[in-house]
Structure 1
């Protein structure tokens, strides 16, 4: 009778510890005997972009992306998405497997659950994590049969690679359509620039005003050199002959004629037939640069278009498997001892806190 009284006293004074012990025993019973085994299949992959020889100006960086980490994150989000779940449901019947197997707490309770609830359950059984240090993606699937777990991981790999390639190729095709439109516009601009240049040459009667200016400058320089020689010759003659001598008059005539010719060439350079040859040369140079720029832009766009066509046709992303999907031979989930230990520690900690609160309340009452 004393033992019963002691038990009643304990239940009355410290019921929290009794509840904690009962909860720990029930949870230990569940994890040890009731919880159904789950098989885990794993795979480790990295996303690669096969590179082709690129032209100097290309849009490959737009098509293939600039960061492998970003690509891995995009792949991770897709593998955990509702769209991926729908593919698994269509090909492997996700609802049936997880509603027919498993204990009452772990199975999918409602086989006809809405897609939102099904997606929440899917994320509990599928883990896709990126290792930022090594730049790989770790995929893990828990299922109640080893075959289903293995098939599901393989489906994730195939669907993920196909999705990344489809996304890249759609972008490449859109870019290709944009480049084709721009190429037509650049072709028209090139034709207009060439036409303007030809019309200007025909109107001015000059194939290249720039070369004409250069040739006139050369003539002026040559004439000025001859003028300097004549002036030196006149100075030499003046030392022993008078200004009225025949030799002096001949040299002076030649100097006057040379100066007149130089002035004519300079007038031709600065103002020919009422038009400034410098202005004509400047306008020609502008038209020539516009035509050259239009030609270079058109060539660059043409190269980019051809490269984009190659990008659209090839496999942009390749999922390289570092560890192939594992066919599990024995169940590794749930972590029975770990789950029981963690629950027991948390429960004891909460019971201890509750006991301290009870003691504090009793002290204040007294």
Structure 2
């Protein structure tokens, strides 16, 4: 009789602890739980610039793209799960409104009047990002209470990811590009100013090249001095057999004086103490202005080359998202997995029931 009583008690306990909760779980899943559809996509980060062929392997070699670093994939994964992206998606897709569903499923739906932190937590339960460390492939799975929203959410995440990866990879390059553009503008202004100064000096002094003019005068002086030397030689020759008062001697001495005066006149154009309009000073000033123009030109060329290099570097660092498998409109709901949940609940409830019975038996043995 006692055995029957114990067996009856055990059966009632089993029904209360296993059967009733299991029926409640099954009833909730069948009556209240909403279907959730899943859209999947697989992406990889591609670098546009040239890469070492030794670094290409696997899917990267197959696609002709470089292996992205682990940092790029980790950054993108963190961004997809970040608050910034959740707020953007909430504005564009009304995440909160959709995640709240019909309001009949308090377990799997986002409850009304939830905070931003709760929205982000719920979002990361419905958007799963898996990173394959060996291939750096990112698989993005998005859940929605209807197939259209699951697809739209996945597509929008891909779009925002493309924009994010471009901004991250280009930020430093753009800053360098802006800096080199500013340097080019400054070099261009300096070159223009130095050229204007040179032109103003030429117009003011009414000479194209004082240095060339000084060289020409020096050549004239040299020629006159040669002529003077020849005339003096001729004078000494005539004096060897003529009187100093002879007409030939007087004529040649007159020529010598004229050449000497012309030499002094030409030399005075080149140099003169205390005057600033002479060719030597003009040539020196002109040479300084010309050197400034040449320096500004070289600086402009360097700035132009730096700008072109920065532009090439910006292109080389450009990255984008390669979609290996694009998201498709789901046909069947994957969640909730009713059979799996019921079987798992049944096993867990039985394990819990067995543990409680074991504890009860131990306590009774100690009491007896």
Fold in common (TM above 0.5): yes
Of the three residues 332, 335, 342, the one matched with 2:334 is: 332
C-alpha displacement of 1:313 = 5.9
Which segments of 5 or more consecutive residues in structure 1 lack a partner in the other structure? 55-64, 185-298
Of the three residues 19, 33, 54, the one matched with 1:21 is: 19
2: CA distance, partners of 1:78 / 1:346: 37
Please state whether the residue corresponding to 1:116 is helix, strand or coil: helix
C-alpha displacement of 1:27 = 1.2
2: CA distance, partners of 1:145 / 1:159: 22
- Assess if the C-alpha contact under 8 Å between 2:48 and 2:316 holds in 1: no
Q: Which residue of 1 aligns with 2:314?
A: 312
Q: How many residues align?
A: 244
Query: Deviations for 1:169-188, whole angstroms, at most 9, x for unmatched residues?
Result: 2121234456789999xxxx
Select the structure of larger CA radius of gyration.
2
Please state whether the residue corresponding to 2:318 is helix, strand or coil: coil
- Assess if the C-alpha contact under 8 Å between 1:165 and 1:315 holds in 2: no
- Assess if the C-alpha contact under 8 Å between 2:48 and 2:315 holds in 1: no
Query: Deviations for 1:273-299, whole angstroms, at most 9, x for unmatched residues?
Result: xxxxxxxxxxxxxxxxxxxxxxxxxx9
Range moving further from structure 2, 118-127 or 16-25: 16-25
Query: Deviations for 1:73-113, whole angstroms, at most 9, x for unmatched residues?
Result: 11111011111111111111011111133623211112x32
Of the three residues 344, 347, 356, the one matched with 1:345 is: 347
Q: Which residue of 1 aligns with 2:48?
A: 50
C-alpha displacement of 1:48 = 0.6
2: CA distance, partners of 1:89 / 1:320: 25
1: CA distance, partners of 2:50 / 2:339: 53
Query: Deviations for 1:227-266, whole angstroms, at most 9, x for unmatched residues?
Result: xxxxxxxxxxxxxxxxxxxxxxxxxxxxxxxxxxxxxxxx
Of the three residues 36, 39, 54, the one matched with 1:38 is: 36
Please state whether the residue corresponding to 1:100 is helix, strand or coil: coil
Q: Which residue of 2 aligns with 1:87?
A: 88
Change (3 A) 1:150 1:67: closer
Which segments of 5 or more consecutive residues in structure 2 lack a partner in the other structure? 53-65, 186-300
Change (3 A) 1:351 1:176: same
- Assess if the C-alpha contact under 8 Å between 1:41 and 1:140 holds in 2: yes
Q: Which residue of 1 aligns with 2:128?
A: 127
- Assess if the C-alpha contact under 8 Å between 1:173 and 1:312 holds in 2: yes
C-alpha displacement of 1:52 = 4.5
2: CA distance, partners of 1:351 / 1:300: 82
C-alpha displacement of 1:5 = 6.8
Q: Which residue of 2 aligns with 1:260?
A: none
